Amino acid sequence: MVRGRQPMPAQGRARHALRVRARYAFDRRLARSTGVLLAWLAAGCLAVVVPVSTVLVWTDPGAPRSLSGRLTAVWRTSAETLRLGGVTGSPLRMLLSVLLGLMALLCVSTLVGLVTTGLGERLEDLRRGRSTVLEREHAVVIGWTEQVFTVVGELLAARARGVVAVLADRDPADMEAALTAVLGATAGLRIVCRTGRPTDPAALALVNPADARSVLVLPAADDESDLEVVRVLLALRTLLGGRAGPPVVAAVRDARHLPAARFAAGPGSRVLETDLSTARLLAQSARRPGLPAALHDLLDFAGAELHVVDLPRPAGLSFAQLALCFDTWCVVGYLRADGRAVLTPPAATVPAPGDRLVVVAHDDRAAPPTDCRSHIDRTAMAAPVPPGDAPLRLLLLGWNRRAPLLVDMVGRTARPGSVLDVVTAPGAGPAEADRTGPGGSAHLRLTHRVADPAAPETVRALDVFGYDGIVVLGPDAGTGAERSDDQTLLTLLMLRMREEGEGRTLPVVAELSDHDSRALAPLGPASAAVVRGELTALLMAQISQDPALAAVFDEIFAVRGGALDLRPAGHYVRTGGEASFATVAAAALERGECAIGYRTDDPRGDGIRICPRKTERRRWQAGDEVLVLTAAPATPGGTPGHGTAAGGGAEVPGTRRESEDGGRKAGQPPG
């Protein structure tokens, strides 16, 4: 039998009610006013101090014998304890002594309170990041996105000492903790975080952009990120007024907002386009999955990177002579006096006075000239390989706002007969992104099928090993997926299962939005992952340190639509034999290219070596690849392959769309 709760005895209820009532009465009296609180505090002190003083006097063998003497001793002990003075005599003198002691206590307490409050407010301002950064020649990063770790990390790697100030509408303690957790300790460098709305000029003044060496404005991940960037640029203009501020490097996602952002940034500043940079890298890497890692090594500050240096003496050397007269430099072009970059010029071109060299090197220190022609072994060179005219077969799994840009770039450089098969989930795909109608070119045939790219039956039905490259895209942030990379990771997992099941490799390149997802991505030996916006973040860091490189990157990524490529080493040297890198560089020069590194199938790392010494000799294998800067190509239509695509929703030129049937049953994946 379950026993019920026993009722509380009446006496216990009375004691309980008495305690509650007494506590309630005490709380109510304390809540009346400050004077009541002080009176209760004084009464409590007297209730403790006077009895204890009495006990001390009565138990003291040396205490006076008379009652008046002992009461006087009790008064002195209590007064000294309460800091009220120990004046004795008439009651008036004792009262005046108490009054002076209370006034002194009030003054001291008020002073302590004011000092404590002021220090507390100052410490709170410091904790909240509301103090002004009094630095000069520091770097300012505005905004907080996933790419802030890349940008700040590269700035720290590029600066031997100094300050990097970060402004965002976040708690500065959380920002510092996050940056320290990712980047670790930074000897000789300081990261200063300040909080405030970046669109508020008063908040921007906290990081002192007027005295900074450079200002970087990061784009957010939401749909209003471009408008936020424009507002930040306008706030910077308002803060600086008519003064010439530091160079500003910003980024937007949509090409439609590029003119407004550039005008708001002002002359001397640079505004990049994140979506276009990511789409270019995906298009380049569709058949060269090793290109993202090679490009990352070239653009970060950890090893060799691009530099603009003065021409060596004597002047009058041709480009071919300059390219082979430095052991530790890879010369790729020159920067004209008017600021225009000329990359991979004809071998006989002679830079004019005032021009500067564009080199790939480990630092910008002057390198001693070294005649590397004696290290060229012409017998080890391979015969020139004619450019391939074979059509391209690509598979695109997934769709987002960068997919139309990707399709546009593939269509610009596709050979006749090329095919791009697109598989998207219901509610997404080319039919929604391109409403202006199909393109009119026959170079690229675009097919679209509706199926879940992450479903096992979809991947099993696809002839994935019949494609030259596979591109995996995830949904955009804010489109309903809690984590946009989850769909991409599932699709990669299905492709990896096909690889292991059939014992063959797939050339896969996947787009991810989170750096942490790259460590989880199940990539095969011929696969790579591109983190959304990472290329833009690396470019922003490079341009902020050397604004002259902006023209070089424009030439590489904008004018040519991507001039970097990984090509088989057998195109330059005979595989299986030993040859110097000078031999590779000379063979590349004869083909109108500049060799700046190589990639091997090294299981201990990514196998990428940027800017090796030209005197370095090694045995070249069939699986090795050479990283080259190519000459400006021309598309099959005869126009330069600049890849300046319109933003999402614009017409996708150079493609021909199949009907939904396309010779297959509805809903059946291609291949």
Place of tokens 């200063």: 192
Give yes or no for residue 60 having a pLDDT over 90.
no
Do 626 and 571 contact (CB within 8 A), yes or no? yes
DSSP state of 501: H
Give the best-scoring range by mean pLDDT among 65-74, 427-436, 508-517, 643-652: 508-517
The model's confidence at residue 658, banded by pLDDT at 50, 70 and 90, is: very low
Q: What is the pLDDT of residue 135?
A: 86
CATH 2.60.40.290 applies to domain 129-268: no
pLDDT tens-digit map of 140-167: 999 998 889 999 988 888 876 788 999 9
- Determine the CATH number of domain 306-370: 3.30.70
The model's confidence at residue 666, banded by pLDDT at 50, 70 and 90, is: very low
| Measured distance CA(524)–CA(243) in Å, rounded | 53
- Matching fold, domains 306-370 and 391-558+649-664: no
Q: What does the angle CA 649 – CA 652 – CA 653 come to, to the nearest 5 degrees? A: 150
Do 304 and 360 contact (CB within 8 A), yes or no? yes
pLDDT tens-digit map of 10-53: 555 555 677 777 777 767 766 666 667 667 777 776 677 678 77
Give the best-scoring range by mean pLDDT among 3-17, 37-51, 350-364, 644-658: 350-364
- Residue 191, SS3? strand
The model's confidence at residue 603, banded by pLDDT at 50, 70 and 90, is: low
Average pLDDT over every residue of 470-490: 78
Strand partners, 423: 397, 449
According to CATH, the topology of domain 391-558+649-664 is Rossmann fold (3.40.50)
Q: What is the pLDDT of residue 71?
A: 76
Average pLDDT over every residue of 199-216: 92
**499 contacts: CB under 8 Å, gap ≥ 6:** 505, 506, 524
More confident residue, 71 or 549: 549
Give yes or no for residue 549 having a pLDDT over 80.
yes
Give yes or no for residue 70 having a pLDDT over 60.
yes
- Residue 242, SS3? coil
Enter the tokens of residue 434: 């391109």
Give yes or no for residue 427 having a pLDDT over 80.
no
The model's confidence at residue 525, banded by pLDDT at 50, 70 and 90, is: confident
Average pLDDT over every residue of 73-88: 66
Handedness of CA 214, 218, 224, 226 (dihedral sign): positive
Do 282 and 509 contact (CB within 8 A), yes or no? yes
Enter the tokens of residue 160: 């031997």
- What are the sequence ranges of the domains in the chain? 55-124, 129-268, 306-370, 391-558+649-664
Which range (294-308, 589-603, 634-648) has the least confidence? 634-648
Do 152 and 141 contact (CB within 8 A), yes or no? yes
Average pLDDT over every residue of 327-331: 92
More confident residue, 317 or 2: 317
| Measured distance CA(507)–CA(525) in Å, rounded | 9
Q: pTM value?
A: 0.74
Q: Mean pLDDT score of the chain, rounded to an integer?
A: 80
Q: What is the pLDDT of residue 379?
A: 92
Average pLDDT over every residue of 223-247: 87
Q: What is the pLDDT of residue 463?
A: 92
Do 505 and 524 contact (CB within 8 A), yes or no? yes
Which range (139-143, 326-330, 376-380, 474-478) has the least confidence? 474-478
Strand partners, 141: 166, 216
Q: What is the pLDDT of residue 12?
A: 52
Give yes or no for residue 646 having a pLDDT over 50.
no
Strand partners, 471: 396, 509
